[in-house]
Every structure is written in structure tokens, then in C-alpha cells.
Chain A
Amino acid sequence: MTTPGQDKVKVRLATTSLAGCFGCHMSFLDIDERLFELAELAEFDRSPLTDIKHCGPCDIALIEGGVCNTDNVHVVRELRANAKILVAVGACAINGGLPALRNKLDVNDILTQVYRDPRTGEPCVPNSPELPLPLDMVYPVNEIVRVDYSLPGCPPSGDAIWKFLTDLILGRMPRLEYSLLNYD
């Protein structure tokens, strides 16, 4: 990893949101004007904030959200395969978060309850091969791929993300002081 000033090589940063609400990405943008500072240190690879649809080799991957369907599995594997450091960001990535409230229910009961023909009452669960298939439960990222770091919060504050990210980029051991460590 690079230290600014040493050379012009920027850290390549990939981000993705799986079964999350995008709150962690929004919180990432809550670094506000530090976004310009970050632009000096890092450049984006695959991220919902860019139009790079697939990940290339990169230094850090930030994963928001749990893993709830086949698509999530493919994406998180793509990032794991390409990133030196993979960080689970936010409650959903770390323990499934609120989407995991569905884990106490049978996924088919949920699907058939939500997708019914209003007239006939018959189940009509979308089944096109274009749609990712839901997993039986929502899983934390570290149960699907190896995770190097976790950054808790729902979402972690912009300050927490900034501290964690700059620690990583500058090669420090990421630490969150008390005011930055929250699960809610």
C-alpha cells in the first residue's frame, strides 16, 4: 500500500452493496469535503458510485450488506478474488443486520405471502432466470468469504469510515475510539 507523497500510485478502492440499504455508502459520502482528500489518496474500481461494473485487482474492497441471494454470492466472491483487503462494513455485512430478521421465517412462506395474484390468491413468485434466487437465510459476509476487517455501525458514521479507511490506506492498524464505535 502507498503513502501519499512517496509516489503517485493511488490505492484502488472497490465498494459494493449486497443485502443492505445503501446507508453505508451514503455514510461513506458523509465524509463530505474529505471526499476531495480521498480522491488524492484513492481511485475507485467497481462501485455503485462508478460505472465500472466488474472488479479488477484492487487494494481495498468495502462490502456493505449481508448475503441474501446468488447474485450477492457472485459479487462478494468477485471482490474477494480481486482485493488485497476485504472489509465488512456495517451491521448487515457483519451479522446480517435487519434483513436477517427474515431468518426466523421460511423464505418460501415469505415469497408466497408477498407474491400472490390479488384476484385468484394463487402464489405467483417471480421465477425468471434473470432474477437471482434468494438463499434460505441472509448470511453475514464472513460466512461466505474470508473477511479481513469489520467496521460496525448502522451505518458506521462518516467519521468512523474516514478513520478506518485512512488508517488502512496509510498502513496503520485500524482502531475506532469510543465515540466512533457504535452498532446502531
Chain B
Amino acid sequence: MAETTFTIDEIPIPFTPGQTILEATKAAGIYIPHLCYHPEFKAHGGCKMCTVLVNGKPQTACTHKAAAGQEVEVDTPELNAMRRTLVQMLFIEGNHFCPSCEKSGECQLQALAYEYEMLTPHFVELYPHRNVDASHPDVLIEFNRCVLCELCVRASRDIDHKDVFAIAGRGRDAKLIVNSPTGKLGDSALAVTDRAVQVCPVGAIIVKRVGFETPIGERTYDKNPISAEADSCEVPEAR
């Protein structure tokens, strides 16, 4: 039944029409890395971590529909080097100080960096000047760690139906903004129980006063690499 399969690194993968390469591949239990993708939401395609070669052409697996006979390359040295470079760019773009970050061990950016053996961010650090928004009683935004994945934007819009978050600005000025008269989270409609609070793949949106409650060794990625996590697109629940 070749007409309903495509191949990932020469392994035939069945798919149902309309499925993206990433969805079909996940269903088949094969890992394609991703950061801004989450099964609950419309694909975004901006982080580029899920870039694969479809018949030799780079495509984002989270947005590209599976088609019969497609030859897809995922796990090649070139693609993995590219993914490492992407992670390096994300690291120098923000202020990612893992040692004091309570998301360490639960952070998808960090886990991806481990997956692709990033030993150094390599590029010259940009050290942007960003702030912390602690105005909300239960939730804190650490803008220094935001990777612009827009998961919170999508979650707040599509699941919480609150439109608390959006991206504003262009290029390097692109930043997460908050929907409130003051622009402060404390004056927004956000509740700690919102999905938007739980989907942040990094330590940008965190629940207050619970940091470091999970001991080292018991954190998600202490146990398994992101590629081996049972469902690696399931973002660890904010505790």
C-alpha cells in the first residue's frame, strides 16, 4: 500500500490524508525534534527545529502535509548540526542562565541542546536587556527566557479564550506582550490554571513559589533524553 505511506530515513510510515509529517511520524513512534509545536494547537513553524528534508528540500515537519511516496530525511548529521545551530542561536538571543533557572531539567530548549550535544552557544552573546513581570500573584514572566514559540499565545487564544498574550515588534525587537491596560500580567485576565501557563516549553512563564521543588534526578530530562520521552511534545506540567 505504497500510496498511503511515505518514508522517514527509509522506514515506511503510514499516514492518513491531512496528517502532517510530524503527526504521522509521532504516531509511528519516531522522534522529530520540535520546540514551538504542540499537538493541541495549530502549527506555528517558526522555531525550525522540526526542519526535515522532503525529497531533498527543507520543510518544517509540523506544517508540511505527508504525501504518498515522500522520501523524508530526519536524522542526518547535517540536519542535526543545523538543529544544534538553531538552539545555539536561541541561547545567545536571550539570557539563558540554566544554573539558576528553575526550569532546568524540565526545559525543552535545554533538552534539545542536550539532544544535539551543544557544548557551547558558540555565537557572540547578545545579552538583551529584558525584564521580569512579577505583577501577577501566582504567575511570573521571565522575558529573558522567552523563545517566541507563541505556545502561550495560542493556548490563551484557542483554549483559555482570553487572548492574554501576543507577539509584537519586528525582527530582534519581537517580544511577548500582555493584554492588559498596563501591559502588566497582574492586570490581565490570566489565571494560574490557564493552559497558557502550562505550555511554556522554557522558563519564561512560571508558576510562582514552586521553583526547585522537584529534586535533581527526578526531573523529566534527568531521566530521559527528550527524544526518548514517551510523548516528548507533552510539555511538562507546570507544578
- Residues of A whose CB lies within 8 Å of any CB of B are 88, 91, 94-98, 100-101, 103-104, 137, 139-140, 142-143, 147, 149-152, 154, 175-176, 178, 181-184
Contact = CB atoms under 8 A, between A and B. Distances in A.
B86 to A, nearest CB: 17
15 contacts: A94-B119, A95-B91, A95-B96, A95-B97, A96-B125, A100-B127, A103-B127, A137-B127, A139-B125, A142-B120, A151-B119, A154-B99, A175-B117, A183-B104, A184-B101
B124 A143 contact: yes
Contacts of A181: 114, 117, 119
B236 interface: no
A68 B110 CA distance: 26
Contact of B117 (A88, A97, A142, A176): A176
B113 interface: yes
Nearest to B101: A184
Contact of B121 (A95, A154, A175, A182): A95
B120 A150 contact: yes
B105 A94 contact: no
A106 to B, nearest CB: 11
A97 B99 contact: yes
Contacts of A95: 91-92, 96-97, 120-121, 125
A152 B127 contact: no
B96 to A, nearest CB: 8
Contacts of A184: 98-99, 101, 104-105
Contacts of B92: 95
B29 interface: no
Contacts of A143: 124-125
Contacts of B120: 88, 94-95, 142, 147, 150, 152
A182 B111 CA distance: 9
Contact of B114 (A147, A150, A151, A178): A178
Contacts of A140: 125
B232 to A, nearest CB: 14
B127 A183 contact: no
A149 B119 CA distance: 8
B100 interface: yes
